[in-house]
Amino acid sequence: MHVIVIGAGIAGASAAFALARRGAAVTVVDSGAAGQATAASAGIIAPWASAVEGPFYDLYAAGAAYYPEVIGLLAEAGVERTDYRRNGELLVHEDPARLDEAQARVEARARDAGPIVGEVRRVGNDEVRALFPVLAPTLEGVFISGGGRVDGRTMRDALLQGAARYGARQVHGRARLRPQGPPRVEVGSEVLEGDAVLVASGAWANELLEPRGLRLAVEPQRGQISHLRLDGVDTSRWPSVHPLSHHYMVAFDDSRVAVGATRETGSGFDARVTAQGQWQVLSDALRIAPGLADATLIETRVGLRPLPSEQAPIAGPLPGQDGLYVVTGFGAAGLTMAPYTGDALARSILGGVTVPELAGFAP
């Protein structure tokens, strides 16, 4: 079976790998447009403290639980580097009552999630700063030892490499769907014909679907995230930090800490770094981590997340469109959800059925 995947972000790369390792012939088409969300993202793989409930949380938690499996599958394909590591997640706040509430929620969910969550324990400020030394002296925390982190670019590249090991090929260029008939994809002067087409182009999904008179309830949301370097400091084992707010910090191996991110609904496809966005990212970070004040600002990345108006991802076959599938609408949860969702979509496409895991997210 030949499947054309439009989009090489985390959603498309995950599906391409899952399809190719099951024996499908896969062609991945990507335009390399500025503002692709995966290229800007650094993700915390630890959904258990999230305030979301229902099917969204179920998919969120399943995505985190699936990560060790997909890392193992990539290793079987000979791909070792993913930058996924379970250093733990540290929830921090000045108000003990807020931490009590978060800890109770995590502990309740840990009973269902199993060993992936790891140990959940309360930590005072001394241990908070032992775990993440640049944090403020007023913060207490809850440490979740099973929390993970991943760099979006590295994980995406690993999945594409894995797909290529199983024979997938990649075509660079702007894709267009033909307006009528079986799904066909035009890339420049080339016409690609497949048994199925998966639109995995994130915030650009509606641009692809427009020729067929289709529109999904998804819009771009700009996220700005800055990367800082603490020269000479070993940050490789620092946990991710979540201050029970919209922002976060993710530490990586090269003395680097990613801080962010803005959530700018209504941004359109404007992928600029703005003065307001840069100020928000840095002021949020320095408020809880004043020890970052002397860090070097390396870069600020901008991603346009596919934000769904129904606050749920969209994944599955498009009604009345034989052979045409879509996956989008992860918002800020794409790095956690996409590998699991891509695997479920591969089973759906190759089996010609709607798999139970995605039943609540059909277009």
Helix (H) or strand (E) holding 276: helix 275-288
pLDDT category of residue 162 using cuts at 50, 70 and 90 = very high
- Find out whether 230 and 292 touch, Cβ atoms under 8 Å: yes
Q: What percent of the chain is predicted at pLDDT more than 70?
A: 100
Please answer whether residues 229 and 35 qualify as being in contact, where contact means their C-beta atoms are separated by less than 8 angstroms. no
The residue extents of the domains of the chain are: 2-39+153-218+310-361, 86-147+219-307
CATH number for the domain running over 2-39+153-218+310-361: 3.50.50.60
- Do the Cβ atoms of 110 and 142 come closer than 8 Å? no
The pLDDT value given to residue 193? 94
User: Could you tell me the sign of the dihedral formed by the alpha carbons of 181, 187, 190, 195, in that order?
Assistant: negative
Interval 223-241 mean pLDDT: 97
- The predicted pLDDT at position 230 comes to 98
pLDDT reading at 358 higher than 90 = yes
pLDDT tens column, 293-304: 999 999 999 999
Residue 311's pLDDT band (cuts 50, 70, 90)? confident
Average pLDDT over residues 297-319: 94
Going by their DSSP bridges, the two strands 256-260 and 248-251 should be labelled as: antiparallel
Mind listing the pLDDT tens digit for each residue in 80-138?
999 999 999 999 999 999 999 999 999 999 999 999 999 999 999 999 999 999 999 99
How does strand 89-93 pair with strand 240-242?
A: parallel
- pLDDT, residue 42, reads 84
In whole angstroms, what is the distance from residue 336 CA to residue 350 CA? 23
What does the pLDDT average to over 27-47?
A: 93
Q: What is the mean pLDDT of residues 217-237?
A: 97
The model's pLDDT over 59-84, given as tens digits with 9 standing for 90+, comes to 999 999 999 999 999 999 999 999 99
Length of the chain as a residue count: 363
First to last CA, the chain: 23
Amino acid identity for residue 140 in this structure: E
Instruction: Give the type of residue at 135.
Output: L
Residue 22 gets which letter from DSSP?
T
- pLDDT tens profile 242-292: 999 889 999 999 999 999 999 999 999 999 999 999 999 999 999 999 999
pLDDT at 310 over 90: no
Nearest alpha-carbon partner for 330 in 4, 12, 1, 3 = 12
Ramachandran region of residue 64, left (φ > 0), alpha (ψ -120 to 50) or beta? alpha
How confident is the prediction for the chain on average, in pLDDT? Answer: 96
Q: What is the mean pLDDT of residues 20-45?
A: 94
Domain spanning 86-147+219-307, CATH architecture: 2-Layer Sandwich (3.30)
Query: What is the radius of gyration, based on Cα positions, of the chain?
Result: 20
Percent of the chain with pLDDT over 90: 94
Q: What is residue 353's predicted lDDT score, i.e. its pLDDT?
A: 87
* H helix or E strand, kind and range, residue 211: none
The rounded distance, in Å, linking the Cα atoms of 152 and 157 is 8
Section 318-328 average pLDDT: 95
Name the DSSP class of 326.
Answer: E
Calpha distance 242→142 (Å, rounded):
10
Q: How does residue 354 score in pLDDT terms, banded at 50, 70 and 90?
A: confident
- Residue 150 token pair: 């991943």
Tell me phi and psi for residue 119, to 5 degrees. Answer: -80, 140
